[in-house]
Amino acid sequence: MSVTSEAVAVRRGPLVVAGGVLAAIVMASIVNTVISLIALAAGAPDDFQPLKAGSYIFLTAVGTLIGALGWAVVRKSAKDPEALVRWLVPTVVVVSFVPDFLLYGDGGAIGVGALLLMHVAVAAVVVFAYRKVMPLS
């Protein structure tokens, strides 16, 4: 009897999951750093706090951890986790834009645009990581 790679993936232990989530935090933080640097070079205000590394790295870590918990709950409790994730992830990302728009007066179009792009980038990185370490099927 052969074991498919997906069947092996489903049995990944907590250390593998933790490592995948940590890798997602690091990768998303790197991508966010690039976005921040480009935004600052393009004219975003130098004093715009959300584009400071301490702000976005902390929020990236918190969001990734909360997302991992949500992913795990959906994975274990949803009848069709794949279908649920397909609409839940974009919905959560769009809702996460709301606070960014409220910062328009401080960050202008470039600063807020960078924040919106950061949210999308983090979502892309973490969904890829979660699918690897916490497959839905």
pLDDT tier, 137 (very low <50, low <70, confident <90, very high otherwise): confident
CB 56 within 8 A of CB 50: yes
pLDDT of res. 11: 62
- Report the residue count for the chain: 137
Chain-centroid distance, C-alpha 66: 10
Furthest-apart CA pair in the chain: how many Å? 62
Question: Model confidence at 10, in pLDDT bands (50, 70, 90)?
Answer: low
Q: Express each pLDDT in 42-94 by its tens digit.
A: 999 999 999 999 999 999 999 999 999 999 999 999 999 999 999 999 999 99
Q: How far is CA 85 from CA 31, 78, 90, in A?
A: 23, 10, 8
Averaged pLDDT score across all residues of the chain: 93
Is the pLDDT reported for residue 20 higher than 90? yes
Q: Are 130 and 24 in contact (CB under 8 A)?
A: yes
pTM comes to 0.89
